[in-house]
């Protein structure tokens, strides 16, 4: 597997505060990587730096061998990096189906629009459990359903790198299984995914199922990368988590 994403020595500062401190990370094509660490460790800031919402003070981020760390957000998104935010990013006045059509419309190399694959949209709607609601307006969905719609929109887009910040927050076990199926869909089509979460049961399940490695962050630095069990049994990791509220 060659590296799709290379974060090299990235530092992010907010005034005098260093939120990311010389972070280096390499993600291969088709890899699922889990990012953990206590509150304030810099996990979201790292996703911000990759997706371009914050710019590094030092260091570079390479994606498909191109430096992206100085590019505007929309250019980074157009190159195939998609981020799911806590607040669902759907168009309220359009139906579920039309949101998905809009998300899947893309220009091909000749500059013309590629035909939309309706069967693929139907499969994705079934996967996220919104097929019955496909003609309803997005504004009629509950907050939870909008989250599934946003994931469905990300699924229709053939992006190469998906960034999910705390996707399991507030989910029931049944919904966590649905989320794991969605992650499986990304992996099957060889997209890379970075998942930040605090739910250790969810993380254990995805690490086992998809052979994911875990990167542990603390105070803006990457301290360890290893298997789920290696990280959970690491003495330094245990020592840091003992002093904090949740892990
Ligand atoms: N816009 C900002 N201005 C100033 N400080 C910020 C800003 N965004 C984040 N920080 C600080 O940077 C540090 C890292 O924050 P970040 O949100 O990346 O942590 P996190 O690992 O995602 O934590 P959590 O698990 O709570 O989501 C924190 O101390 C936070 O207060
Ligand atoms: Mg965060």
What count of other Cβ atoms lies within 10 Å of the Cβ of residue 91? 15
The predicted structure's pLDDT at residue 247 = 45
**3 state DSSP class of 166:** coil
User: Is 174 contained in some domain?
Assistant: no
The predicted structure's pLDDT at residue 87 = 74
In angstroms, the CA 170 to CA 182 distance is: 17
Token match 């969905």: residue?
Answer: 141
Residue 78 pLDDT greater than 60, yes or no: yes
In angstroms, the CA 146 to CA 92 distance is: 9
Residues 62 and 31 both lie in one domain:
yes
Residues 35 and 68 both lie in one domain:
yes
Q: Which ligand is nearest to the CA of 165?
A: 2
Residue 188, token pair as written in the block: 């099957």
Mean pLDDT for the stretch of residues 57-72: 96
In angstroms, the CA 24 to CA 59 distance is: 9
| Residues 41-68 as b or e (16 or more Cβ within 10 Å = b) | bbbbbbbbbbbbebebeebebbbbeeeb
Residue 245 pLDDT greater than 50, yes or no: no
pLDDT band at 157 (very low <50, low <70, confident <90, very high): confident
205-216 tens-digit pLDDT: 999 999 999 999
Domain span holding position 217: 1-80+159-169+186-247
Share of the chain above pLDDT 70, in %: 93
In angstroms, the CA 239 to CA 228 distance is: 16
Residues 12 and 71 both lie in one domain:
yes
Cα(118) to ligand 1 centroid in Å equals 40
Is 45 near ligand 1, meaning CB less than 6 Å away?
Answer: yes
Residues 153 and 163 both lie in one domain:
no
Locate the ligand 1 atom nearest the alpha carbon of residue 54 and give its number: 1
User: Is 196 contained in some domain?
Assistant: yes
In angstroms, the CA 36 to CA 215 distance is: 6
Residues 53 and 165 both lie in one domain:
yes
Residues 245 and 164 both lie in one domain:
yes
Q: pLDDT averaged over the chain?
A: 92
Residue 37's nearest CA partner among 234, 198, 162, 227 is: 198
Mean pLDDT for the stretch of residues 59-81: 94
Residues 75 and 196 both lie in one domain:
yes
The predicted structure's pLDDT at residue 244 = 58
Which residue's CA is minimally distant from atom 10 of ligand 1?
19
* Region label for 170, one of left (φ > 0), alpha (ψ between -120 and 50) or beta (otherwise): left
In angstroms, the CA 174 to CA 165 distance is: 19
105-154 tens-digit pLDDT: 765 556 666 777 899 999 999 999 999 999 999 999 998 899 999 999 99
């Amino acid at each position: 597997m060659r590296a799709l994403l290379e974060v090299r020595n990235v530092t992010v500062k907010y005034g005098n505060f260093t939120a990311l401190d010389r972070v280096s990370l390499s993600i291969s094509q088709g890899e699922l990587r889990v990012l953990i660490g206590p509150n304030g460790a810099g996990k979201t800031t790292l996703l911000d730096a990759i997706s371009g919402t914050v710019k590094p003070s030092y260091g570079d981020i390479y994606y498909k061998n191109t430096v992206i760390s100085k590019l505007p957000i929309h250019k980074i998104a157009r190159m195939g990096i998609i981020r799911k935010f806590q607040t669902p990013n759907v168009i309220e006045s359009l139906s579920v189906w039309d949101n998905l059509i809009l998300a899947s419309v893309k220009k091909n190399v000749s500059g013309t629009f590629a035909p939309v694959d309706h069967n693929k949209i139907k499969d994705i709607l079934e996967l996220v459990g919104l097929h019955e609601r496909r003609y309803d307006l997005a504004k009629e969905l509950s907050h939870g359903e909008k989250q599934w719609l946003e994931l469905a929109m990300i699924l229709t887009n053939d992006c190469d790198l998906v960034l999910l910040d705390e996707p399991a927050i507030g989910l029931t076990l049944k919904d966590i299984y649905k989320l794991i199926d969605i992650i499986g869909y990304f992996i099957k089509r060889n997209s890379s995914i970075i998942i930040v979460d605090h739910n250790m049961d969810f993380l254990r399940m995805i690490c086992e199922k998809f052979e994911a490695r875990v990167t542990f962050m603390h105070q803006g630095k990457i301290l360890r990368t290893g298997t789920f069990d290696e990280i959970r049994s690491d003495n330094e990791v245990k020592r840091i988590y003992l002093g904090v509220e949740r892990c």
